[in-house]
Structures are given as C-alpha cells and as structure tokens.
Amino acid sequence: MGTATALDGPDALSARELYRFFRAGDEETLALRGVSLSVQRGETVAVVGPSGSGKSTLLACLAGLDEPAGGVVHVGGERLSHRPEALRAQIRARRIGILLQSGNLIAHLNVTANIRLARRAARGTGPADVGVLLDQVGIEGRARALPQELSGGELARAGLAVALANDPDVLLADEPTGELDGATERDILRLLRGRAQSGRGVLIVTHSREAVKIADRVIALHDGRIQQ
C-alpha cells in the first residue's frame, strides 16, 4: 500500500479511440481517426500538428463542447462523452477550464462579472475570491475593466482567470499565446505550467516553440491521428 498523495486517483483527462467525421454533401472529412491520450495530474501536455490536423476538433471533444462519433472521454474519472448536452455543460463547468486565443470573455461584462458568471455556471458555492484570482494572473488592478478596455496581454490574463474560476481539474488551451508578445507569452505559459504543478492537468494546443518547451510531453497530430 502506497501513501496517498494528491496525484493518486484517476487521470485528470483521458480519451480513448476518438472518432469525429464532418460531412458536407458528398465530402467527408475524417477529423479524428482513433485518437487516444491521457493527461496525468501534474502534467502539461502540448498538442502540435499542421493546420487542419484535427487539433481544435480534438479539444472540442475533450471539453465536451462537441461529441465524438466514437470513443470515450473521461475527466477526473467521470465520463463526459455520450451524455446529454446539459449534463456535459455541468461537468465541463465544474471540472474543465477552457482558454482560447480570443473570445474568452463576455464583451459587455467586466472582468469580475465574467468570473462570477463562470462561477455560477458551475454552481460554485459562495463568491469566487476574485481578488486572489486576478492577483495570480497579474491583473489585480483590472477587476472593474470591460474587455474592450484591456490590452491583449491583459485579455489573455483575464481569460485565464475565468478559466480558473472553478479551480478545474483540467485546463484545455487552444493556441492561448498565438497573439501575445514574447514576455506575456512566457508569463502565461509559466502560469499554465504552475497550474499543472499544483496537481491539475494542462493540455495546450499550440504552434509555439515556447509552449512545446514547457510541456512534459508533446503529442503530434497528423490527419486526425497521433503520429508515433
């Protein structure tokens, strides 16, 4: 019998044999053709691959935003795939943080209201400590700012605060640093990596060398398959 640690228990995230097809008229795109992966607690995984290789489709399936045609996704040991959409949304709100290149905030709500909204979606008990979250991501002075009043770097940091609002088991990021300057990119990556080191799982879809450098493991997608 081993000593229990925070790293015991199910993987932060696991996907087995994911398939996803898109059909438009006679055209069929095989976006995912049997993708299996896992992210351990404490681990940062980078997913790389050329444009069109299935990265965003994979991320959408891992987040429960999309349903794979075949295969299964578990998050924190709980099955996410092949569930009614409302239940997927609940599980996602509680267990998954999502960070995109842009569009992470609701435009007409200030930073604090965006974080509170994310909290409510997960039925988070009590108000999130917005001050602590904003301090963590380095924009403690911007709690009342609207998205349009934020710089690109501040927007990325605010998006990360929203993604972390419910202290998720897994953080999924799709090209999170694609539009950032080098210094901000390094800072965001440091925060993502720190997140993993505190015992959560982090998966970053990326083209960035810097992001690949901080990953514990790199998965390369090509034509909807993992390249060995």
The span from the CA of 116 to the CA of 126, in Å, is: 10
CA distances from 62 to 112, 117, 121, 136, 200 (A): 27, 22, 19, 26, 15
Provide the 10 A C-beta neighbour count for residue 31.
26
Chosen from Mg ion, ligand ADP, none, partner binding at 68 (C-beta under 5 to 8 Å by type): none
Crossing angle of helices 130-137 and 111-121, rounded to 10°: 110
CA distances from 185 to 14, 108, 180, 189, 200 (A): 27, 26, 6, 6, 20
**Quick check: 91 binds ligand ADP (CB under 6 A)?**
no
Supply the minimum distance, in Å, between the C-beta of residue 171 and Mg ion. Answer: 17
Between 44 and 56, whose beta carbon lies closer to ligand ADP?
Answer: 56
**Quick check: 55 binds ligand ADP (CB under 6 A)?**
yes
Between 21 and 124, whose beta carbon lies closer to Mg ion?
Answer: 21
**Quick check: 56 binds Mg ion (CB under 5 A)?**
yes
Nearest CA-CA partner of 131 in 145, 146, 122, 141: 141
Between 22 and 151, whose beta carbon lies closer to Mg ion?
Answer: 22
Supply the minimum distance, in Å, between the C-beta of residue 58 and Mg ion. Answer: 9
**Quick check: 22 binds ligand ADP (CB under 6 A)?**
yes
Between 24 and 183, whose beta carbon lies closer to ligand ADP?
Answer: 24
Strands 44-48 and 201-205: parallel
- Please list, in sequence order, all residues whose beta carbon lies within 8 angstroms of the beta carbon of residue 85, skipping any fewer than 6 positions away: none
CA distances from 135 to 14, 106, 186, 193 (A): 31, 20, 17, 17
* Site map (CB under 6 A) of ligand ADP, residues 24-53, x = contact: x----x-x-----------------x-xxx
Contact window for Mg ion (CB under 5 A) among 10-18, 56-64, 92-100, 215-223 = 56-64
Q: What is the DSSP letter of 130?
A: H
**Quick check: 68 binds ligand ADP (CB under 6 A)?**
no
Total residues at interface with ligand ADP (CB under 6 A): 12
Which chain residues interact with ligand ADP by CB under 6 A?
A: 22, 24, 29, 31, 49, 51-57
Which chain residues interact with Mg ion by CB under 5 A?
A: 55-56
